Amino acid sequence: MEKIKLSYIIYFIAGISVLILGISAYKAEKNHEEKLYHVVYSKIKETALECYLLEDCKGDITLNDLYLKEYLTPVYDPVTKEELDNEICITYNNKEVEFCS
């Protein structure tokens, strides 16, 4: 009878351990993806800022405008590896580059 109870405890501990490891791996993967996107969008913003400061860009611009003015080479989604939409809108307000809503 003691062996049955001990085996249940072992299974319970193993199950909890697998659950904790799974949740931790999921959170680590999501955090990694967020950092990858942050790097890509920061690169776009820095390039757009350069364009605005050199007065080559005015008002709202798109990613395609940065490509045409040769400030940026095509940018790819870090997760899906597909090229980002050329129509992503970028604006310069109060000395800050932001993505349009």
pLDDT in tens, 1-46: 456 688 888 999 999 999 999 999 999 999 999 999 999 999 999 9
Question: Rounded to whole angstroms, how far apart are CA atoms 78 and 57?
Answer: 26
Question: Rounded to whole angstroms, how far apart are CA atoms 62 and 101?
Answer: 12
Give domain limits for the chain: 2-99
Query: Strand ranges (DSSP E) for the chain?
Result: 61-62, 89-93, 96-99
- Please state, for a pLDDT cut of 90, what percent of the chain lies above it: 79
Question: Rounded to whole angstroms, how far apart are CA atoms 90 and 76?
Answer: 17
The mean pLDDT of the chain is: 91
Question: Rounded to whole angstroms, how far apart are CA atoms 85 and 29?
Answer: 24
φ, ψ for residue 71, nearest 5 deg? -85, -20
pTM (predicted TM-score): 0.79
